[in-house]
Amino acid sequence: MQDFLKILKKEQIISIIGPLASKVKSNTNLILAVDGGAKFSPSKNRSKSYISLGDNDSYKGQLDILLPKNKDISDLQFAFNFIGKNAQFIFMKGFISNKKEKRFDHLLSLFGTVFLHSKKYQSLIWIDDDLLMLPKGEHHINIHSGFGLITFEPTNITLTGKVKYAQKNRKKIMPLSSLAGSNLGSGLVKITNDKPCLLCLNKKGR
């Protein structure tokens, strides 16, 4: 386990599997399962490095790292604490329900955890299929759908390219503002942001 944790600190591409995943197809060689995500243990494919952690509230089997049920931070935060600064790309699966969300505290704290990690380490983080935490910088992304940008701190953003509502001059977007929402991409879009922001893709349209 200690060898795995050392690798985790150095790895550039990591998958994190959560309890709400229905199926998992990981293209990364290193998988970190959070509680219920352990049911997708690649036991038949040990070419992938794998470790599980949690407090057994959504999984009753054996976990590699058992966390206390009474603690100050979430299982997901514990997982991110093991990830080092070298992780440039993080793919998360099974953390957002397709059904009506009942635990908004979990959902909002998830976004907070991902935002703070991206801010500290400049990581690009996919959340399931439609959400992407963009670290600060310049990003060129092919978007053929409706989309919006959500900020968590006052953030200067420019938006150009194949986009319906361009923002060529830097504009400060306040946290959770709708000002950068409800847009439409039709090709290569250039986004520049001086703090991490959440790209929300609406693949079904506007």
At residue 24, the pLDDT reads 66
At residue 49, the pLDDT reads 79
CATH class of 2-129: alpha beta
At residue 41, the pLDDT reads 67
pLDDT tens readout for residues 19-63:
887 766 666 777 888 998 888 766 545 546 788 899 988 888 888
pLDDT tens readout for residues 81-116:
888 888 899 999 988 876 655 678 888 999 999 999
The identity of residue 6, as a single letter, is K
Classified as helix, coil or strand, 132 is strand
At residue 186, the pLDDT reads 95
Chain center to CA of 10: 19
Chain center to CA of 112: 10
pTM above 0.95, yes or no: no
Arithmetic mean of pLDDT, 137-145: 97
Measured distance CA(77)–CA(186) in Å, rounded:
36
CA angle 142, 13, 48 (to 5 degrees): 125
What would the two tokens of residue 146 be? 């409706």
Bridge-based pairing state of the strands 155-163 and 183-193 = antiparallel
Domain boundaries, the chain: 2-129, 137-202
Measured distance CA(17)–CA(35) in Å, rounded:
9
Under 8 Å between Cβ of 26 and 94: no
CB-based contacts of 179: which residues, under 8 Å, 6+ apart?
Answer: 171, 173
pLDDT tens readout for residues 161-205:
999 999 999 899 999 999 999 999 999 999 999 999 999 998 764
